[in-house]
Amino acid sequence: MNFFEQQAAARRNSTRLVILFALAVAGIVAAVDLAAWLVMPSWRMLAFTTGVTLVTIFFGSMYRIASLGDGGETVAQQMGGTLVPEDTTDPGLRRLRNVAEEIAIASGVPVPKLYVLEHEAGINAFAAGYTASDAVVAVTRGALDRLNRDELQGVIAHEFSHILNDDMRLNIRLIGVLFGILMIGLIGRKILEHGRFGGRSKNIGAVLIAALVAMVIGYIGLFFGRMIKAGVSRSRERLADASAVQFTRQTQGLAGALKKIGGLHDGSQLNHRSDAEEVSHMLFGDGIGFTGLFATHPPLLERIRALEPGFSDEALARLQARWAMAPPNGMQEDIALGLDGGSGSQLPAARQELLVTPPMVAAQVATPAADDYRRADAIVTSIPDALRDLASRRDTVMPLLLGMLLADDETLAERQRMDIAARLGDDAADHAIRIHQQLTAELHPMLRLPLAALAFPVLRLRPRPQLDAFMDTVHAVVHADGQVSLFEYCLGKLLTVQVRESLNPARYARFGRRKPGNVRQEFATLLAVVAQAGHVDEISAKRAYLAGLQRVLPRDHLPYAPPAEGVLALDAVWEPLDALDPLAKQAMVEAVTDAISHDGRVSVSEAELLRTICGVLHCPLPPMLERG
């Protein structure tokens, strides 16, 4: 099952969630109505209790969803997470950040914010957020201390698969939905807890009885809530395990992490059970201890045997006995195993063209393989340390990104410097000029967007007024000469998406439903732009355009009409195309690839345009288009 099929499955799961939620609400309403009928058999009373119950559940869900409107960071903070600094020098945290950066580059998604649950000794992790742009990955202190680098890679890759497969959005909404169906029970419990302050009021007894009944009815919501979480979560966890293996090129890492969960005393359990209950469906391992119908994860031995079929109960018992005497230390295992984190791979030449096919590119979307991970290692290690340091610091990330946009022409560069100085100050402008010179001398062209990807999460930490001023500066720099190059447009658009979605993540989280026939003109514009960008003459560009159109709208005859504004015409197509049905997006990616590479080859600048299109339309593409 590929990325687009996973997106379609996630949308079906969302529909399934709505149906299960409706059944749970119906059960709670029926229970409340029955209790009210036994006290006062009146149709008017039934109508009243039904209305009050529905309103309570609805506003409870809306309140909880609104409280999570800032995305994954809210969940991590509510769980007691501590943010991992971008420039951390702590060896364990540095190892975590390096692993996350490599996997982010390999998958084509932005580097998520990283949190550590410092007071949790169990081995666990979760990913939370509405979109890849606001995603957070949190790991427990136990995971950092007990897992070696390969095992940590397996866990982080598992969480990245939840980001790629769109599980995060479903999971975070599930928190809000389940809170609503628990509202009746929560209200009853609060009334009972504070009932002693009711004094001698003659009505206090009736109120307490009503509260007790509400608590009992609340168990109906709890039952349905746990059933819903278990039903939605188990199949997605199996898929995430399989994706992690595909991702990290080996089974030992993920299997080793699962063995340590089963072999260590703390396992994957979390200390704060009330918080863990709410996020249990999001965790890497079972954080509560539910089994049977309420289990949010497949049995641990089943997960291990899916990776190592010969693993037995006796083998797990031997690990338990050994680790009871000497618990493993992940960092020491790294030294013993020689896990330095770099596998190495050769970057293509700056002017090399890549041989691709449309189905191949569509198959690569959000499905990184072993060679993508090796390439990610190469990319990270190939970026000069000084430039990576600039990308990791809040005070230098803006000059770095602006430096990427500066022109080599001295006259134009001076005009751009004045635009920066007018908005951000002379120091920022001079710093951007110096960094541009450093980039020109030291950075391989294929590393520009990966370096920007490392900088995006640091940029998102800046306050909103600074981000607004920065984006205004980016616009001025890009349009300083009245023309916009492919790279200027690509980086500017990716910056816009990153900033926009991080400031208001819930607004941009949605499942698309449009079909290609509803966005014909947008397809025509997109294909015309990419065909024009990939071909030197109008005849070959027209052929490329028609080849792309044949893939996505085979019965339509839309003339080739490249827009006068060039690449800027794409601004009008993003929102309609992002609302496409997932499987329609697959056809779109194949069509764009066909148009941009009708001669079978893609240059570096064209690859950047293709990756930008996929990124803006939430179809993340791994770092290299050809597979070695």
At residue 13, the pLDDT reads: 63
Task: Report the distance separating Cα 482 and Cα 565, nearest Å.
Answer: 11
Residue 96 inside a domain? The answer is: yes
At residue 343, the pLDDT reads: 47
pTM of the model: 0.74
Assess whether 535 and 476 both reside in one domain: no
* 8 A C-beta contact, residue 72 and residue 113: yes
Assess whether 287 and 414 both reside in one domain: no
Question: Average pLDDT in the 267-277 region?
Answer: 78
Which pair of structure tokens corresponds to residue 113? 């914010």
Residue 188, CB half-sphere, CA atoms under 13 Å: how many? 20
Length of the chain: 628
Question: Average pLDDT in the 132-138 region?
Answer: 87
Residue 624 inside a domain? The answer is: no
Assess whether 383 and 443 both reside in one domain: yes
User: Scanning the structure block, which residue is given the tokens 């109508």?
Assistant: 47
pLDDT 10s digits, 459-516: 888 888 999 999 999 999 999 988 888 889 989 998 888 888 777 776 665 667 788 8
Q: Name the residue with higher pLDDT: 429 or 39.
A: 429
At residue 111, the pLDDT reads: 86
Q: Which of 73, 159, 522, 606 is catalytic?
A: 159
Task: Report the distance separating Cα 234 and Cα 297, nearest Å.
Answer: 5
Q: Between the CA of residue 225 and those of 20, 35, 130, 175, 196, what are the distances in Å?
A: 9, 21, 21, 10, 30
Query: Is pLDDT above 60 for 2?
Result: no
Confidence tier at 25 by pLDDT (50, 70, 90): confident
Query: Is pLDDT above 70 for 369?
Result: no
Assess whether 561 and 488 both reside in one domain: no
CA-based nearest residue to 271, from 136, 121, 135, 412: 121
Query: Is pLDDT above 70 for 371?
Result: no
Q: Between the CA of residue 531 and those of 55, 484, 572, 594, what are the distances in Å?
A: 53, 17, 17, 9
Task: Report the distance separating Cα 171 and Cα 523, nearest Å.
Answer: 32
Residue 621 inside a domain? The answer is: no
Number of domains in the chain: 3
Query: Is pLDDT above 70 for 52?
Result: yes
Burial of 231 (0-12, 13-18, 19+ CB in 10 A): middle
Assess whether 277 and 140 both reside in one domain: yes
289: left (phi over 0), alpha (psi -120 to 50) or beta: left
* 8 A C-beta contact, residue 608 and residue 614: no
- Average pLDDT of the chain is 82
Percent above pLDDT 90 for the chain: 29
Assess whether 316 and 395 both reside in one domain: no
**The domain containing residue 542 runs over which residues?**
509-616
* 8 A C-beta contact, residue 486 and residue 611: no
Residue 385 inside a domain? The answer is: yes
Per mean pLDDT, which of 38-47, 51-60, 137-146, 336-345 is the most reliable? 137-146
Choose one of 323, 339, 355: the last residue of a domain.
339
Task: Report the distance separating Cα 550 and Cα 523, nearest Å.
Answer: 11
Assess whether 386 and 416 both reside in one domain: yes
pLDDT 10s digits, 514-564: 888 889 999 999 999 989 887 878 899 999 999 999 988 888 889 999 998
Nearest 5°: CA angle at 332, between 268 and 148?
40
Task: Report the distance separating Cα 96 and Cα 36, nearest Å.
Answer: 55
Known catalytic membership, residue 314: no
Lowest mean pLDDT among 69-78, 191-200, 280-289, 317-326: 191-200
Query: Is pLDDT above 70 for 372?
Result: no
Assess whether 525 and 489 both reside in one domain: no
pLDDT 10s digits, 500-510: 877 777 666 56
Assess whether 489 and 552 both reside in one domain: no
Assess whether 431 and 307 both reside in one domain: no
Which pair of structure tokens corresponds to residue 275? 């918080």
Residue 396 inside a domain? The answer is: yes
* 8 A C-beta contact, residue 487 and residue 603: no
At residue 516, the pLDDT reads: 84
Task: Report the distance separating Cα 455 and Cα 396, nearest Å.
Answer: 10
Confidence tier at 398 by pLDDT (50, 70, 90): very high
At residue 95, the pLDDT reads: 93
Query: Is pLDDT above 60 for 126?
Result: yes
Question: Average pLDDT in the 231-258 region?
Answer: 77
Lowest mean pLDDT among 36-40, 305-309, 517-521: 36-40
Residue 500 inside a domain? The answer is: no
Lowest mean pLDDT among 70-74, 233-237, 264-268: 233-237
Residue 115's DSSP bridge partners are 83, 138
* 8 A C-beta contact, residue 158 and residue 244: yes
Query: Is pLDDT above 90 for 70?
Result: no
Residue 405 inside a domain? The answer is: yes
Q: Name the residue with higher pLDDT: 409 or 218.
A: 409
pLDDT 10s digits, 315-366: 999 999 999 988 999 988 888 877 655 444 455 555 555 555 666 666 666 5
Assess whether 572 and 482 both reside in one domain: no
Residue 345 inside a domain? The answer is: no
Assess whether 256 and 305 both reside in one domain: yes
